[in-house]
Structure 1
Amino acid sequence: MDDIKIVTLAAAALLLLCQSTWLYTDSRHRSRYPWLWAIWGLIQFPMPLIFYWFIVRIKKCK
């Protein structure tokens, strides 16, 4: 693997880890299935974040 692929892979892993951590901590604070959001956040980006925003965060405000 060349250097660009390694950097891209490391950046993607860091992005998924940060997203998953944020989803876990915020959903745990709101008591909304934290492990589900964390695992889904580790698998893909950005759909879990978008769905979390619309399902949990906006629904909570109403």
Structure 2
Amino acid sequence: MELLDMAVLAGAVLILLGQSTWLYTDARGRSRYPWFWAIWGLIQCPMPLIFYWLIVRRRKR
């Protein structure tokens, strides 16, 4: 059971780091508060990505 807990924790960390990195690099390219998006992306999983797509990515079009 402990091994499964460690695997879930490692997976969550990888997802959060990947999301935060992508949000930072994309927001930096668009000059849209990259540190804000990166820090928020480290704290929560789906919400920062959804809001980023709705606020930043859609506004450019």
Q: TM-score, normalised by structure 2?
A: 0.98
Match of 2:5? 5
Higher helix share: 2
Give the drift of 1:16: 0.1
How do 1:16-27 residues align onto structure 2 when only pairs under 5 Å count?
A: 16-27=16-27
Give the drift of 1:39: 0.1
Give the drift of 1:17: 0.1
Match of 1:38? 38
- SS of the aligned residue for 1:32 comes to coil
Aligned residues: 61
Q: Percent identity?
A: 69
Structure 1 moving runs of 4+ over 2 Å: none
Superposition CA RMSD, Å:
0.8
Match of 1:28? 28
Q: Could you tell me how far apart the structure 1 residues matched to 2:2 and 2:20 are?
A: 27
Is there any run of 5+ residues in structure 2 with no aligned partner, and where? none
Q: Could you tell me how far apart the structure 1 residues matched to 2:31 and 2:59 are?
A: 14
Q: TM-score, normalised by structure 1?
A: 0.96
